[in-house]
Amino acid sequence: MAILVTGGAGYIGSAMVERLLASGRSVVVLDNLSRGHREAVPASVPLEVGDVCDPAFVSRVFDTHPVDAVFHFAAESLVGESMTDPGKYFRNNVGGVLTLLETMASHTARRFVLSSTAATYGDPEEVPIQETFPTQPTNPYGESKLICERLLHWFGRIHGIRWTSLRYFNAAGATPTVGEDHSPETHLIPLALDAAFGRRDPLRVFGLDYPTPDGTCVRDYIHIEDLADAHLLALEYQERSEWGIFNLGNGQGFSVLEVIESVQRVSGRRVPWEPAERRAGDPPRLVASSERARKELGWNPKRDSLDEIIASALRWRDAHPNGYGD
Ligand SMILES: NC(=O)c1ccc[n+]([C@@H]2O[C@H](COP(=O)([O-])OP(=O)(O)OC[C@H]3O[C@@H](n4cnc5c(N)ncnc54)[C@H](O)[C@@H]3O)[C@@H](O)[C@H]2O)c1
């Protein structure tokens, strides 16, 4: 049997594929390559190029490969873009999950793991955020993932699909072979690294007047290999439980300025930066409590030092200064 990794040519999905291969599983990747890279998928892995919202295409993939579980990474995930083009987020993110679930219902696959997000919580009243906190997204991206969780609930009840929603906080870092190469890049660590090496203009720090100790936004950074480990544990968890929602983060918050300091420490270079307006829909502090994942999944993130996470990203960027274009 095989695990279908949608978005497996993307940043986190490609680390997942690598982890699955290392654990001896059979893998199929589905990706439309809109944001992913063919080079990120090992030649030994079947790559089905097409849209996860296309029912005929997805059905063909399930007819061709013996899929028994789906790890669903394929989505649009730019918070800012979702505030200007909400339709794209609901169509792609909700449409993708609906298409997969309907296809699963008419095939034999009964296990699903969703890449959800901290953005489902919106602007929490306190941190660390627990799964029991209210979900009040402040942008259509977070809302689209919350709707996906509701779809899972109903398809779980009606079609017996076991499901896990993993609400990641900020994915970061690299493995020796796969790393972050988004276009446009919006994530802080690769932007700060590129600014440090003069590969782009000074970093723009969005908002210096947030109610945080240094005025910049605070986020929780979690290594992509720790995220991949959690997916495998989620599959095991599905043997004993029909569904579950878990935060995945380190439980430690770092401000934008602290990340800049860490990049400077690790790279030995200054990060040029300039203040910029706040971005719409950006909550001041998002820090996870991952106690539930630790207790119930047995998850134990191993790469929890910010410097170590950034050092892994720097090593990958050094080896691929132009991303997968090299
Ligand atoms: N990166 C983060 O910090 C973060 C945080 C929380 C949640 N997530 C979630 O994790 C998942 C992966 O994020 P990422 O950073 O690896 O993103 P990414 O953009 O690098 O990867 C997404 C992949 O999905 C593909 N894709 C997008 N729409 C598609 C469609 N309609 N059909 C087929 N393929 C499609 C893209 O080509 C890309 O390869 C997303 O669902 C995202 O919402 C990411």
pLDDT tens digit string along 227-243?
999 999 999 999 999 99
Distance CA 221, CA 15 (A): 16
Confidence of residue 322 (pLDDT cuts 50, 70, 90): confident
Domain with CATH 3.40.50.720 in the chain: 2-172+221-248
* DSSP letter string, 124-163: -SSSSBPTTS--B-SSHHHHHHHHHHHHHHHHHHHH--EE
Residue among 5, 6, 12 whose CB has most ligand 1 atoms within 8 A, to mutate: 12
- pLDDT at residue 88, rounded to an integer: 98
Does residue 203 register a pLDDT over 60? yes
For residues 254-281, average pLDDT: 96
Alpha-carbon 14 to chain mean position? 11
Index of the ligand 1 atom closest to the CA of residue 12: 16
- pLDDT at residue 304, rounded to an integer: 84
Task: Return the CATH superfamily for domain 2-172+221-248.
Answer: NAD(P)-binding Rossmann-like Domain (3.40.50.720)
**Which tens digit of pLDDT belongs to each residue from 182-195?**
999 999 999 999 99
237 annotated active-site: no
Tokens of 254: 């770092």
Distance CA 160, CA 93 (A): 22
For residues 286-309, average pLDDT: 96
Which of 211, 214, 186, 210 has the alpha carbon at shortest distance from 278?
210
Does residue 291 register a pLDDT over 80? yes
**Which tens digit of pLDDT belongs to each residue from 121-130?**
999 999 999 9
Does residue 224 register a pLDDT over 60? yes
pTM higher than 0.95: yes
**H or E element in which residue 223 lies:** strand 221-223
- CB of 75 shorter than 6 A to ligand 1: yes
**H or E element in which residue 202 lies:** none
Share of the chain above pLDDT 70, in %: 100
Angle between helices 55-64 and 95-105 (to 10 degrees): 40
**C-alpha dihedral (81, 84, 90, 95), degrees to nearest 10:** -60
Angle between helices 11-22 and 224-237 (to 10 degrees): 60
- pLDDT at residue 274, rounded to an integer: 97
- CB of 168 shorter than 6 A to ligand 1: yes
Confidence of residue 275 (pLDDT cuts 50, 70, 90): very high
Distance CA 120, CA 165 (A): 11
CATH of 188-219+251-325, one of 3.40.50.1820, 2.60.40.10, 3.30.450.30, 3.90.25.10: 3.90.25.10
Does residue 311 register a pLDDT over 80? yes
**Do residues 79 and 113 make contact, with C-beta atoms less than 8 angstroms apart?**
no
Distance CA 215, CA 29 (A): 41
- CB of 137 shorter than 6 A to ligand 1: no
Confidence of residue 326 (pLDDT cuts 50, 70, 90): low
Domain with CATH 3.90.25.10 in the chain: 188-219+251-325
More confident residue, 322 or 160: 160
- pLDDT at residue 310, rounded to an integer: 98
Confidence of residue 281 (pLDDT cuts 50, 70, 90): confident
- pLDDT at residue 267, rounded to an integer: 97
In the set 121, 141, 210, 237, the catalytic residue is: 141
Share of the chain above pLDDT 90, in %: 96
- pLDDT at residue 283, rounded to an integer: 87
